[in-house]
Amino acid sequence: MAPPSEGCLKTVEVHVRRIRLKMAWGPEQWLVTVPGRGYRLIAPS
C-alpha cells in the first residue's frame, strides 16, 4: 500500500477540525490526535 499523499493528510485534518468546531469540543477533549498514528476518540472522565 502506498503512503498517503500530503493533500490527503491535510483533508483529514480539515475534517477533524470541522467536527471539533461543530460539536463545540475543546481541542483535546474527546478527539485526541495521536502523532504518527491518527486520531483516537476517548470517553470523558
Confidence of residue 41 (pLDDT cuts 50, 70, 90): confident
**11 is in which domain, residue-wise?**
6-41
Hey, how many other C-beta atoms are within 10 angstroms of the C-beta on 31? Answer: 17
Looking at residue 1, its pLDDT comes to 56
- Round to whole Å and give the CA distance between 16 and 43: 17
The answer to the question of residue 24 being in a domain is yes
The answer to the question of residue 22 being in a domain is yes
Q: How many domains does the chain fold into?
A: 1
* Burial class (CB within 10 angstroms; exposed 0-12, middle 13-18, buried 19+) of 21: exposed
The answer to the question of residue 16 being in a domain is yes
Write down the pTM of the prediction: 0.52
Which one, of 37, 33, 36, 34, lies nearest residue 17 by Cα? 33
